[in-house]
Amino acid sequence: MELNHAIMKDSNESVFYYNRGNVFFKLASFDKAHLDFDKAIQMDNSNPKFYHSKGLAYEEEGKKTKDQEMQKNAIKYFKLALM
């Protein structure tokens, strides 16, 4: 709730979306986590933590669903984090 409030007050802060994405990730709400990580990346595409967390979300989602496409996406975002 605090992050939602922070975003309402300042929707131009990428770290708020990143942090909320991490909360959704820990709750296994991967769709919401991906949306927030995407928003953070869109706002600041030079932050490797954003790409890394999106990769982690894909990796965990792939483990739960046994979807190899998710694992490929995870690798893609891990590589982007290293660039």
Domains assigned to the chain: 2-82 (1.25.40.10)
Q: What is the dihedral of CA 63, 50, 23, 57, to 10 degrees?
A: -10
pLDDT in tens, 6-56: 888 878 899 999 999 999 999 999 999 999 999 999 999 999 999 999 999
pLDDT in the model for residue 75: 97
Q: In angstroms, rounded to a whole number, what is the distance separating the alpha carbons of residues 80 and 20?
A: 21
For the segment 46-72, the average pLDDT, to the nearest whole number, is 95
Amino acid at 63: K
Which residue carries 């990346």 as its tokens?
41
Mark 17-35 as b/e (b = at least 16 C-beta within 10 Å): bbbbbbebbeeeebebbbe
Comparison of pLDDT for 6 and 67, the residue scoring more:
67
pLDDT in the model for residue 7: 82
Q: In angstroms, rounded to a whole number, what is the distance separating the alpha carbons of residues 54 and 37?
A: 6
pTM of the model: 0.89
